[in-house]
């Protein structure tokens, strides 16, 4: 593939994704500092580097279960090697044919995670999950306590209502109240 700009529809077809998904991937790359060229109508135009970055994101997401947001961060980081990620896709293309394996022209060499970067991310991800699980468990315990207090309040109100009904039923009534239902 040469470095001629491609319209979004062409790039989406080449990558085997929808144009809405392509727009999302491009937006994630742009949020991480990558610039995708635009035409005079402000529509994105994709070149080989853009296609390679998006392919690398998809490979990390599909084959390595890296969330897209993190994959975008990895592929736009300095010191990453896109060829390493793209070669993973080429060597595993018989099991996943949802991304083209024809390698586009790449003008830079920053794209794939270094071997030490991925374990650090995994460690941070696990730590974050553990913190969230702990916070969730604390919230569940608080909710259990609130539910218990509410149930106690409801039971006290039921007893009070029952006592009032009994008191009302045991009250003597006048002849007029019995005749007119008061």
Number of folded domains that form the chain:
2
* Distance in angstroms (rounded) separating the CA atoms of residues 148 and 132: 24
pTM value is: 0.50
Mean pLDDT calculated for residue range 119-125: 71
Tell me whether residue 53 is in a domain.
yes
> How many Cβ atoms from other residues are within 10 Å of residue 179's Cβ?
9
Q: Using 50, 70 and 90 to split pLDDT, how confident is the model at 106?
A: very low
Q: Look at residue 68 and tell me if it is in a domain.
A: yes
Domain extent, residue 163, equals 132-180
Task: Let me know whether 32 and 86 are in one domain.
Answer: yes
Distance CA 142, CA 119 (A): 35
For residues 17 and 72, membership in a common domain is answered with yes
Query: Mean pLDDT throughout 83-106?
Result: 57
CATH of the domain at 34: 1.10.1660
Q: Are residues 82 and 168 in the same domain?
A: no
At 21-42, the pLDDT tens digits run: 999 999 999 999 999 999 999 9
User: Do the beta carbons of residue 68 and residue 61 sit within 8 Å?
Assistant: yes
Confidence (pLDDT) at 107 = 41
Average pLDDT over the chain reads: 81
Q: Is residue 97 part of a domain?
A: yes
**Is residue 121 in a domain?**
no
Long-range contacts, stretch 64-69, CB < 8 angstroms, 24+ apart: 64/118, 66/121, 68/24, 68/25, 68/28, 69/28
3 inside domain: no
Tell me the pLDDT band of 117, cut-offs 50, 70 and 90: low
Judgement on whether residues 98 and 152 belong to the same structural domain of the protein: no
CA distance 33 to 8: 20
**Share of residues in the chain with pLDDT > 70 (%):** 77
Same domain, yes or no, for 164 and 95?
Answer: no
Who wins on pLDDT, 170 or 113? 170
């Amino acid at each position: 593939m040469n470095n001629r700009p491609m319209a979004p529809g062409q790039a989406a077809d080449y990558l085997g994704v929808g144009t809405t998904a392509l727009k999302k991937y491009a937006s994630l790359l742009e949020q991480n500092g990558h610039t995708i060229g635009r035409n005079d109508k402000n529509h994105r135009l994709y070149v080989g580097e853009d296609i390679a970055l998006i392919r690398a994101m998809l490979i990390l997401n599909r084959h390595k279960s890296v969330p897209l947001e993190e994959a975008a961060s990895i592929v736009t980081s300095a010191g990453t090697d896109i060829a390493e990620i793209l070669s993973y896709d080429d060597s595993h293309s018989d099991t996943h044919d949802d991304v083209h394996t024809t390698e586009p022209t790449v003008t830079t060499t920053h794209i794939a995670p270094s071997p030490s970067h991925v374990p650090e991310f995994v460690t941070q991800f696990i730590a974050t999950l553990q913190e969230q699980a702990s916070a969730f468990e604390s919230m569940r315990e608080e909710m259990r306590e609130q539910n218990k207090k509410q149930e106690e309040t409801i039971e006290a109100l039921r007893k009070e209502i029952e006592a009032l009904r009994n008191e009302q039923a045991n009250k003597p009534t006048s002849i007029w109240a019995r005749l007119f239902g008061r």
